[in-house]
Amino acid sequence: MSFKDIVKLKDKETVIMVIRHYPLVYAPKILLALVLIAAPFFFMVPLLRLRYWGMGVFGLLILLAV
């Protein structure tokens, strides 16, 4: 599927440039997501020692990360 199939141009219109983000632009967002998902598991043992409060905080952190 080409660009001309997706975008319908009028008469005498031309496409000058197609700009896309370089994949490295998304690296900070992906890194932040991985840290947010991994952090609750890093603190899992101390949190689970708090019994129900720890399980609640752990579950909340997982929900916030996802």
pLDDT in tens, 10-29: 888 888 888 888 989 999 99
The whole-angstrom separation of Cα 55 and Cα 57 is 5
pLDDT at 65 over 80: yes
Q: What is the DSSP string of 29-63?
A: HHHHHHHHHHHHHHTHHHHHTTTHHHHHHHHHHHH
Residue 36 has pLDDT above 70, yes or no: yes
pTM of the model: 0.55
Taken as a whole, the chain contains a residue count of: 66
Q: Is 23 helix (H, G, I), strand (E, B) or coil?
A: helix
Quickly tell me which residue has 């660009």 as its tokens: 3
When pLDDT is averaged across residues 25-50 and rounded to a whole number, the result is 90
